[in-house]
Amino acid sequence: MSHDTPAPLSPRPLSHLAEAQHRVMTSAGLRAHGVSAAETKEHCRSGGPWQQFLPGVYLLHPGPPTDEERLHAVLRYAARTAAPRAAAGVPAQPTARQPHRPVFPEAVITGLAALVLHGFAAAPPLCALEQIDVLVPRTRRLRSTGCARIVRTAELPAPDAVAGLPVAPAPRALADAVAGLADAAAVRSLLTEAVRCGHCEPVAVVRELTAARLLSRPHVADAVDALATDGRAAAEDRLYRMVREHGLPDPVWNVDLRLPGGPHLGGADAYWPEQAVAVELDTRAARRGARQDEDALRSEHARKREDLERLGITLVHLTPRKLRESLAQQATVVRTALMAAADREPAAYVVALPR
């Protein structure tokens, strides 16, 4: 035997397999433990200790699977024929040397199951899902079967690691879930929770729904209209908290800025007249067609900033994500702008009207 030829693995006792972390294994994983196809078939006979759950995927116990086992089984089924993409030296399937290391190349949990894993309260529990959606490259020759529903995609998203499983990011999982839902109330509940609970930004949701061509469905379009309103309301609440909890002076809220007798300069969510500092929340992109309008929105914002700065007014641009993830830091940004007013030339007089 040459030095380049690995020594064969010694068969592991079958009792060891029954104690595996998830008690779910593939044909390849069993072979790595020295279990032949004939032995596997014998253990899966009627009344035997094992069962075939999906093609090429086995439960190493006779009872019904747990929710965790179903997730692992679906991933192992979807990944079992994928070309390994792991780092050198890391096997694509569990082996006798690494029996508890699940690797799932080219398979990502998505849809309602992914939303459950992300913590969505509006998603039904895993035990209520007859099928679990799993993303695979569209070139894969794999069919839906049992509780595994194959969802093909041109490009797999970079997965989030949730409970040790590859899970689609919340916006993508949401779009895949909505694609299979005809219930308008269920769609609206999921979209509303996504924004209100901070799972994802409205613009990211709209982008994924647009990419999936779901905005042509009336019940989805209506839910997105409500999503924009919910997203703005949540961001405004955080802005109020920022001013209150971080000791900023009270601004005037929600005003339109105009030159006396002159043109409209734009709106401000908060404005400090004495310091000539305006805060604008960027929630405009969370509406239908936002993907196509992003260049126009950026151009509009740049024009507004230039017009205000020519008049000596500082415009602070805040996003819902910044307010959610770093409220104290955003308060510092606003406070710095307010303090810098003393070193600037006096601003032009503008009229602030309620909007």
pLDDT bin (cut points 50, 70, 90) of residue 96 is very low
pLDDT per position as a tens digit, 146-198: 999 999 999 999 999 998 899 999 999 999 999 999 999 999 999 999 988 88
Q: pTM above 0.85?
A: no
Do 209 and 335 meet the contact criterion of CB atoms below 8 Å apart?
no
3-state secondary structure at position 268: strand
Per DSSP, 70 falls in state H
CA distance 118 to 199: 8
Do 315 and 280 meet the contact criterion of CB atoms below 8 Å apart?
yes
Q: Which amino acid is at 65?
A: P
| 15, pLDDT greater than 70 | no
State residue 161's pLDDT score.
93
pLDDT bin (cut points 50, 70, 90) of residue 326 is very high
Q: Angle 202-211/290-310 helices, nearest 10 degrees? A: 140
Give all strands (DSSP E) within the chain, no chain letters: 24-26, 51-54, 57-59, 108-109, 132-137, 148-153, 160-162, 165-167, 252-258, 264-272, 277-281, 314-318, 351-354
| Residue bearing tokens 């007249």 | 273
Q: Which residues, in sequence order, are CB contacts of 243 under 8 Å at separation 6+?
A: 250, 251, 270, 331
What is the overall mean pLDDT for the chain?
Answer: 84
State residue 87's pLDDT score.
32
The first and second tokens of residue 85, run together, are 């993409």
Do 231 and 195 meet the contact criterion of CB atoms below 8 Å apart?
yes
| Dihedral Cα 22, 24, 27, 29, nearest 10 deg | 0
pLDDT per position as a tens digit, 192-222: 999 888 888 888 898 999 999 999 999 999 9
How many angstroms from the chain centroid is the CA of residue 11?
Answer: 41
How many angstroms from the chain centroid is the CA of residue 312?
Answer: 40
CA distance 101 to 140: 24
pLDDT per position as a tens digit, 328-347: 999 999 999 999 988 888 88
Residue length of the chain: 355
| 85, pLDDT greater than 60 | no
pLDDT per position as a tens digit, 267-296: 899 999 999 999 998 775 454 444 445 566
